[in-house]
Chain A
């Protein structure tokens, strides 16, 4: 007689596949997951509490540290919220700079996801290719603002630094390079039998479930819901450029994979147009008061980060510091569906599904 019993297993908080300090307690029957309980907060820094004692410019570096794989979009959402509250106009050149760095950031973020996801699944070399190409973007950012991850680049009213001489040309050169590399990526991975066996039809859900759980980004679009905030409620200059929103059908990990690769292509498409239309001169900072003190009131704005809808809710009492600042973090919201998806799956699929959601723990915990 074989005696079987439920096994309680801790995955994380320090586990490479959780991409940070995130923990899941799983109850296993053999290799099948009976229940999964996510535990988070290991990286909680109280950003929202800290922000209540900081003025708006001082909060920007904290947003870098929320989603540290996509700091530019976090920067933007805070500045955008304050600008909306104050009714500020942004100079065109500054808006172009913002859009270009945000789209470059989207490419860089998806490259990190692509590399690490395949690494989780067991493919070593794609990680090296992805990071090699991401390095070019990081170097571009480094040249622009002197930082590789935590850029602190945007300001309320514009951007801190204008593009250095020749920077735009470097971006222009990067676009065709990346396009050819994307073909290589596809050839290398996208049709691989083992890879397909691992991710096809894994972690499936339908559109209604995705909407109920408030999923956003590729996690929502993989079910065929056409919801990209760059199209739905255009911010910055997105209504000036042509691009498509890739949609999935099956709502599984493979669709999410394809969508993210396609989003890199679409970002490059936006970048190509933005570089062509880039104004040759102009200010990079709008007319902004020396002390930023938005009027009393509240505002909620949201934008499309590489992970989905990142939002910023500010309650102002007319002071230089926010009365309450709340970030809607896509990683945090998207992660909620994990316990539901894991029930009945095997342990190997835990890694596939968790990776497919694409979380950044700095943003989950905030």
Chain B
């Protein structure tokens, strides 16, 4: 929770100077309200949804013989049923929460869409900020609805297994229906809000580096293989860096082409990075052309179990130590490398420290 609030504050701080201040801050409020609405539920069921409630319920159930548990007297209908009392309590709580959440979501759904219609769409940053926020809200609302449904189901399941089930069915069903209705409402509201936000977003102007990327891709595809380039895109965050993802089977031929072709001339390999994405390994070659000053990043993907990427050392001599470092720290093999051994860690070291699942062999190290 606190993390989310932090994020809110951050965003708030960042946009202080924006001309879209009004808009963003309203959306801010809406989100804050929405997240506050989620608060009681999240607070009570921190990481394991529903568990603390069940504990509470159990505790209350144990105390049921004691006269001071006030609700037992009120609910005369279910008083014979041992589980009914805490169960009902939990349900009432859930219903109250759901009501609160619905109210807040309505507010939050209404404000941004209103705001959206007022705000001019020419600001480049405002459409970018909003969909993200709306998506977040939507996700939060859905998660909440799912949790409510799960809770209702869990609560509904327990007494059904219990012996005297003629009793608690009525409020139980009611709660279930209510929860489902809440979920529907929440989803609809979030959807409406996100649609309202997405509507004014205009298609982005093409990147200034797009022709360069297209040319590179076309050359590689026509001269090497149609399958050589698996993916090509522009990393706008990074000053529009063109990125191509090259298939491993075509990498050495592609590397040669990138270096030697007259229209490419990527003769300078400035950096090689290895990244453990947990699903796969990635090796990134950052290239630049001294002649044209154009930049290009080439990515290669390898599966994580026995990662292997053909070496680029025969093409760029500087890849040598860089690839050794990646082998050493991430365990990616580079077939074709002239001197594949560890570079930073001692030769007898076990494991590759930069892998996300790395466990030191010696616990004292």
* Residues of chain A at the chain B interface (Cβ within 8 Å): 40-41, 44, 46, 48-49, 84-85, 87, 211-214, 216, 225, 227, 232-233, 287-291, 293, 295, 297-302, 309, 311, 313, 315, 323-324, 326, 328, 332-333, 335-336, 365
Contact = CB atoms under 8 A, between A and B. Distances in A.
Given A49-B353, A302-B270, A324 B276 contact: yes
B162 interface: no
8 contacts: A41-B342, A49-B353, A85-B238, A287-B14, A297-B235, A300-B271, A313-B284, A332-B325
A212 B7 contact: no
B59 interface: no
Nearest to A45: B344
B272 to A, nearest CB: 9
Interface in B267-315: 267-271, 273-276, 284, 286, 290, 293, 297
Contacts of B321: 332-333, 335-336
Contacts of A213: 317-318
Given A289-B10, A290-B9, A324-B276, A41 B345 contact: yes
Interface string B315-331: 01110111001000100
Interface in B11-26: 11, 13-14, 16-17
Given A324-B354, A326-B271, A335-B321, 15 more contacts: A40-B344, A85-B237, A212-B316, A212-B317, A212-B318, A213-B317, A227-B290, A289-B13, A291-B10, A298-B235, A299-B238, A311-B271, A315-B275, A323-B275, A326-B273
A300 B325 CA distance: 18
Nearest to B318: A214
A313 B267 contact: no
Nearest to B342: A41
B153 to A, nearest CB: 32
A300 B271 CA distance: 9
A276 B342 CA distance: 50
B241 interface: yes
A273 to B, nearest CB: 25
B239 interface: yes
Contacts of A87: 237
Contact of B271 (A84, A328, A365): A328
Pick from B241, B293, B344 the residue with the most CB of A within 10 Å: B344
Nearest to B317: A212
Interface in B224-272: 235, 237-239, 241, 267-271
A336 B318 contact: yes
Contacts of A326: 271, 273-275
Contacts of B276: 324
A-B interface, 5 closest residue pairs, ranked by CB to CB distance from nearest: A214-B318, A289-B10, A328-B271, A41-B344, A326-B273
Interface residues of B, number: 43
B343 interface: yes
A336 B320 CA distance: 8
Given A84-B238, A297-B237, A324-B275, A214 B286 contact: no
A291 B241 contact: no
Contacts of A333: 318, 321-322
B318 A44 contact: no
Contacts of B353: 46, 49
Nearest to B297: A300
Contacts of A85: 237-238
Contacts of B346: 41
B362 interface: no
Contacts of B345: 41, 44
A73 to B, nearest CB: 16
Interface in B150-167: none
B273 A313 contact: yes
B364 interface: no
A311 B320 contact: no
Contact of B17 (A49, A211, A287): A287
B284 A289 contact: no
A36 to B, nearest CB: 13
B13 A299 contact: no
B311 to A, nearest CB: 14
B271 A293 contact: no
Contacts of A287: 13-14, 16-17
B6 interface: yes
Contacts of A216: 270
Given A233-B293, A289-B13, A328 B270 contact: yes
Contact of B14 (A225, A289, A311): A289
A313 B284 CA distance: 10
B10 A293 contact: yes
A212 B273 CA distance: 18
Contact of B317 (A302, A311, A315, A336): A336
A320 B111 CA distance: 30
Nearest to B293: A232
Given A302-B270, A336-B321, A84 B239 contact: yes
A333 B286 CA distance: 14
A214 B269 contact: yes
B267 A211 contact: yes
B204 to A, nearest CB: 15
Given A212-B317, A333-B322, A299 B237 contact: yes
